[in-house]
Amino acid sequence: MNDAYFPLLAEELKIPASKVKATAALIAEGATVPFIARYRKEATGGLDEVVIAGVRDRLDQLAALDKRREAILKSLSERELLTDTLERTIAGVRSLSELEDTYLPFRPKRRTKSLDLEDLLRDFIGLGEPKRQITVIDLSPVPHEVRPTVSAQIGRLAFEFNYWNPQRRDFPILLVCEEAHQYIPREADLQHEGSRRQMERIAKEGRKYGVGLCVVSQRPTELSETVLSQCSNFICLRTTNPQDQEYIRKLMPEGEQDLAEVVVGLGELGIEAQCLPDS
């Protein structure tokens, strides 16, 4: 809680700063708006629920403002763009919209030029700055109908990088596909044709070029049979669908299928399958 905001809230809400401070303290302790309005009138000076809710909401806004301001100052400092004048300007901002408008001219430019593709590829395979062993690509903000296209490009990029890499044996790549049934489906359709083809290519040929594929799904019956047929390792976790359970049994070697009957947790199975590069 920033005490410097109490005079600001007092001016905005037209109430004494002492009442703002007392209300803020009660909210910080976890008290609800109805409780404060009914049972803590002596502390707030009789503020009603509307004013108390206004204090709470404005404090939340200012907390978010402080968090965003800190991130912006850090970004500017790291890029050596932070001047004393700019820092004072950012410190005096009192709303998120004003803060974003102030930051807009200094916001990092998005990569949209072909000249940046080399750096983009370096980040993808972990050779950017700083270097990383794991790169996480979050597709949740991507529209559902676009995800198969993006997934296809990711698969193609991973395969072709090591296909042309003369040091592929010293630079293995493992592509881990969460919720794989969403873009490597069993049934062929136009929307998923590209992603399905690229992932099946990795499953069938990737091991020769040091590219592995790990597919994670709770619905193995909806996964591409071509991909699963190329997987040599299966980790069963959790699923309750009877069709999926039966499918998992069939994935086991013929001489070991009877073992599935004695596994206590068979009612709670799932699947993670791996196509790994040759060692």
d(CA 108, CA 113): 14
Mean pLDDT across the chain, nearest whole number?
A: 82
Q: Look up the CATH number of the domain holding residue 41.
A: 1.10.10.650
In a domain, 191, yes or no: yes
Q: By C-alpha distance, which of 221, 226, 111, 208 is closest to 163?
A: 208
In a domain, 127, yes or no: no
In a domain, 126, yes or no: no
Instruction: Tell me the per-residue pLDDT of 208-228, one tens digit each, with 9 for 90 and over.
Output: 999 999 998 888 888 898 898
Instruction: Tell me the per-residue pLDDT of 33-48, one tens digit each, with 9 for 90 and over.
Output: 989 888 888 888 888 9
In a domain, 82, yes or no: yes
Range of the domain at 94: 5-106
143 in the same domain as 102: no
In a domain, 117, yes or no: no
Residues 82-86 have a mean pLDDT of 90
220 in the same domain as 147: yes
pLDDT of residue 112: 47
101 in the same domain as 144: no
pTM beyond cutoff 0.85 = no
Among the residue ranges 16-25, 137-146, 189-198, the one predicted with the least confidence is 137-146
* DSSP string covering 191-247: TTHHHHHHHHHHHHHGGGGTEEEEEEES-GGGB-HHHHHH--EEE------HHHHHH
In a domain, 64, yes or no: yes
77 in the same domain as 21: yes
197 in the same domain as 71: no
Residues 229-239 have a mean pLDDT of 77
271 in the same domain as 149: yes
d(CA 224, CA 80): 49
pLDDT of residue 173: 92
Q: Look up the CATH number of the domain holding residue 271.
A: 3.40.50.300
Boundary-marking domain end, from 58, 85, 106: 106
Number of domains present in the structure of the chain: 2
Residues 97-105 have a mean pLDDT of 88
pLDDT of residue 272: 54
pLDDT of residue 12: 84
